[in-house]
Structure 1
Amino acid sequence: MDMTENKKIRKGSADKRAKIIVAARDLFLSDGFDRSSVDAVAAKAGVSKRTVYDYYGDKQNLLLAVVDESSLAVLEMIEQGIADHLLEFEDLQQALILFCEQIVASANGSADYKALIRLVMVEEANLPDSFLEKLDKATEEGIMRKFTEFAQKGLIDVPDPKMATKHFAALTILLVFNQPRRTGSMDAEQTRRIIAEGVRVFLSAYAPRTTQIDNHNLIEKKL
């Protein structure tokens, strides 16, 4: 009997937490963090103000929880892309292209991703630097791990996996998201072209040293 009651309590708590997070995210995005009150969050979530404080302490912690919850979905998206394309492959360049295309497509269809980006951009002043650094590290960790593994196999040369990951993202995924949207979303062909060229440049810059030496010698011979 006690076990059944405990399960009900845990389930109820999880449901309430989820409702609070969704309500807070919606209000923070529509009204802004400063203009959103705990009273409004509680009312929208259908819980008491006391419950919000009991679960999250204060509005600042609630914002961190909202961003953290959205980032978890983004991390799962990245890990899924790695599992689908970067565990087994015959052509690294093609695998990286497919990985980026999947991330872009998943992000474009993800409310969590859009919420995360907007919250981080708009509410950056209300987020501790340590939290933002932790978020950056978390989103980069999976790709860094794969690049380190690729380097050990001699597929690429990455003295600094963290910097390589930043270069890779800047040349591919982030470059797609930073394109002007004057005429709406880019079509698949435009996206693929940007990603393919970014992957090509990345692999040229981080090619194994023997490949770089061979390319250099080939250029000298042509000259």
Structure 2
Amino acid sequence: MDHTENKKIRKGSSDKRAKIIAAARDLFLTDGFDRSSVDAVAAKAGVSKRTVYDYYGDKQNLLLAVVEESSSAVLNMIEQGISDHLSEFEDLAQALILFCGQIVASANGSSDYIALIRLVMVEAANLPDSFFERLDHATEEGLISRFTAFGQSGLLDVRDPKMAAKHFAALTFLLVFNQPRKTGVLDEEQTKRIITEGVHVFLCAYAPRSVQNKNQASS
């Protein structure tokens, strides 16, 4: 769905855009998308209602801009984790564990991640399917590239890197994020156990057969 059809949206100043996005995110999180008005966003941002419409077209485009900005910060977090732990390493299992640990720690301390999850869960009906498709692709892209390289170098037996990336995420950091939590976040020991066991299960499925046979013989 193209909400900007037949509307000319201005680029505007980066400062005004940042204020509008910050105001909209706060209001969407506290009051909800449906109960938040463009007038309220404009007042909170200190700009005119016309400026909001000129920059973003309509309220639904503004919601999309908010979640895309938050998702960009989350994607940068994933890229940083890949750069820190999955580019150069001596032990693949340990590298994967460290990568997941960094993702979880960064997400737990990230207002962008918290905002993204809350908005996506609550306002999914107001977001286009194309957003979710782009987010899934962008989130997996770095891991797919690394798993492809690991397959080519013989570190992993990967027939479908995209599926491997989905399996890996589901067994590790996504499993941590999906745990029921009474006190806000899991403690460090629980998180490490989930990640370590998830990496072990992943490698049982994707390690080359020669490595699996060697591990079975030594156990």
Is TM-score (shorter-chain normalized) higher than 0.5?
A: yes
Q: Work out whether 1:42 is the aligned partner of 2:42.
A: yes
| Deviation at residue 209 of structure 1 after TM alignment | 3.5
Give the secondary-structure state (helix, strand or coil) at the position aligned to 2:155: coil
Aligned to 1:105: 105
Greater Cα shift, 12-21 or 35-44? 12-21
Aligned to 1:16: 16
- Percent sequence identity over matched residues? 78
Q: In the aligned structure 1, how far is the partner of 2:18 from the partner of 2:208?
A: 47
Q: In the aligned structure 1, how far is the partner of 2:30 from the partner of 2:80?
A: 30
| Deviation at residue 185 of structure 1 after TM alignment | 2.5
Measured on the aligned residues, the alpha-carbon RMSD in Å equals 1.9
Q: In the aligned structure 1, how far is the partner of 2:180 from the partner of 2:36?
A: 31
Q: In the aligned structure 2, how far is the partner of 1:108 from the partner of 1:153?
A: 33
Aligned to 2:31: 31
| Deviation at residue 30 of structure 1 after TM alignment | 0.7
Q: In the aligned structure 2, how far is the partner of 1:64 from the partner of 1:141?
A: 21
Aligned to 1:127: 127
Matched residues, number? 209
Partner letter of residue 18 of structure 1? A
Partner letter of residue 164 of structure 2? A
| Deviation at residue 182 of structure 1 after TM alignment | 2.3
Q: In the aligned structure 2, how far is the partner of 1:182 from the partner of 1:70?
A: 25
Bigger-Rg structure (1/2): 1
Give the secondary-structure state (helix, strand or coil) at the position aligned to 2:13: helix
Partner letter of residue 66 of structure 1? V
Aligned to 1:208: 208
Q: In the aligned structure 2, how far is the partner of 1:153 from the partner of 1:196?
A: 23
| Deviation at residue 46 of structure 1 after TM alignment | 0.5
Alignment gaps of 5+ in structure 2: 1-10
Q: Work out whether 1:190 is the aligned partner of 2:183.
A: no
Structure 2 length-normalised TM: 0.90
Aligned to 2:93: 93
Alignment gaps of 5+ in structure 1: 1-9
1:128/1:81 CA distance change after superposition, 3 Å: same
Structure number with higher helix proportion: 1
Q: Work out whether 1:180 is the aligned partner of 2:180.
A: yes
| Deviation at residue 184 of structure 1 after TM alignment | 4.3
| Deviation at residue 187 of structure 1 after TM alignment | 1.4
Cα shift readout 1:168-191 (whole Å, capped 9, x = no counterpart): 111000111111212442211111
Cα shift readout 1:40-72 (whole Å, capped 9, x = no counterpart): 100000001111111111111111100100001
1:217/1:139 CA distance change after superposition, 3 Å: closer
Partner letter of residue 70 of structure 2? S
